[in-house]
Amino acid sequence: MSERDLVFFILFLSVPILEIYIFLKVSEHVGPLETVCLIVLTAIVGSVLIKREGIKTIHRIKTIPLNNLDHLLKALGDGFFVVISGILLLTPGFITDFLGLALFFSKPRHLITSFFIKRINFSSHLNFNHDDSDRN
């Protein structure tokens, strides 16, 4: 098992344990029924917000010319992180709700998308030479 696999394994185990711990602590303070209602409410509100933001992102992607790669990648990144945000908001738990809500706002999405765009070198993948003379 590689070091990277070990990190993912630890995260995979620790996030649900932390979610249960926080769920129990919140339940101690506000009550179990109220805690469950809060989790359900965040899922409902999250799904409504994500639907609205997703529609806006789709319309934005449709209006971007294909030759404007930078804007297209940012819009696609926005769409990707809106989906991730929705998944996190629909997943029961306070940590996932916090992360989903953070990704819902455009500023964190733009920061993450810009980070990945800068880290990936697209220039080697953009050599679209459609010259038929290269074919056999």
Q: What is the pLDDT of residues 24-80, one digit of tens each?
A: 999 999 999 999 999 899 888 888 888 888 888 888 888 888 777 778 888 888 888
Q: Which of 99, 94, 119 is nearest to 109 (CA)?
A: 99
Q: Which of 9, 105, 94, 3 is nearest to 49 (CA)?
A: 105
- What pTM, to 2 d.p., does this model score? 0.72
Burial class (CB in 10 A: 0-12, 13-18, 19+), 85: buried
Residue spans per domain, the chain? 3-121
Q: Return the DSSP state at 93.
A: S
